[in-house]
Structure 1
Amino acid sequence: MPGPPTNPRATGGETAALVTQVMDELIRLLARDAAHPPAETCEEADARRRALVRLSVLAGVKQAVRRLEDQAARTAAANGAGYPEIGQAVSMSRQGARRRWPGLITNGRHRPHPHPTPRSP
């Protein structure tokens, strides 16, 4: 069985830190473009609005990342990866990967199921 996936560019923690930076910038830009509150709003209402815009953007990002993960898992399986490797790539067990993407790999042969069952958000 092939070894663990490698990424010579960044560790998981470094990747997470970089994504956090990028997301903070994206949220800042999107929040700037969001409807501006009326002039008479207080600082607390403005903080609430900013937090809700941030939450909305992050929910959309989570949905997009989920779709990209599903696509990458299908591609990995189509190219011979098994549940142990797929699980390791996303820091979960083989069983966790099997629960996340049921039917992705069947009969010991690495053939992707057309549409893995999405997990509830």
Structure 2
Amino acid sequence: MPGPASTPPLPGETAALVTQVVDELTRRLTQDVPHPPADLADTAGDARRHALARLRVLRGVQQAVRRLEDQAAHAAAASGAGYPEIGQAMSMSRQGARRRWPGLITNNTPTPPSPEPRSL
């Protein structure tokens, strides 16, 4: 894996790497579930149980990724990123980022006082 000083992998490379890691994780977490045997005599039940177990693991991975995305979006906003940058990083529009994380970006800059009306 690249060190911290290297440039991040391209999105396609990241997806391929994560797919490999998650596939290995699902295999490890579903080891106790019977894998479909080579002969197909009575494998429908085992194949179904194994596939459903993998789906449950993948759903957990999806929820974990969502939490990590939320944490990263909050960290980005805390360090000054706006909705356009966050949206771009997530391959979504600014509006999409705003809908996903409403209230994430706040304008804490003081508003200038309004000019006082002049008397004639």
Whether the TM-score (by the shorter chain) exceeds 0.5 is yes
CA drift at 1:24: 0.8
Residues in 1 aligned to 2:75 and 2:23: alpha-carbon distance in whole angstroms:
30
Partner of 2:3: none
Partner of 2:94: 94
Partner of 1:71: 71
1:1-121 matches, within 5 Å, as 8-34=7-33, 36=34, 42-107=42-107
CA drift at 1:68: 0.6
CA drift at 1:107: 2.5
Equivalent position SS for 1:33: coil
Structure 1 residue runs of 5 or longer lacking an equivalent are 1-6, 110-121
Give me the identity figure in percent: 70
CA RMSD of aligned residues (A): 1.9
Q: Give the structure with higher Rg (CA).
A: 2
Q: Which structure's relative contact order is higher, taking Cα pairs within 8 Å and 6+ residues apart?
A: 1
Q: 1:78 to 1:9 in 2, by over 3 A?
A: closer
CA drift at 1:9: 3.6
Structure 2 residue runs of 5 or longer lacking an equivalent are 1-5, 36-40, 110-120
For 1:26, give the aligned amino acid: L
Residues in 1 aligned to 2:32 and 2:70: alpha-carbon distance in whole angstroms:
31
Residues in 2 aligned to 1:13 and 1:96: alpha-carbon distance in whole angstroms:
22
TM-score (norm 1): 0.75
Residues in 2 aligned to 1:96 and 1:21: alpha-carbon distance in whole angstroms:
29
Residues in 2 aligned to 1:32 and 1:108: alpha-carbon distance in whole angstroms:
51
CA drift at 1:8: 2.1
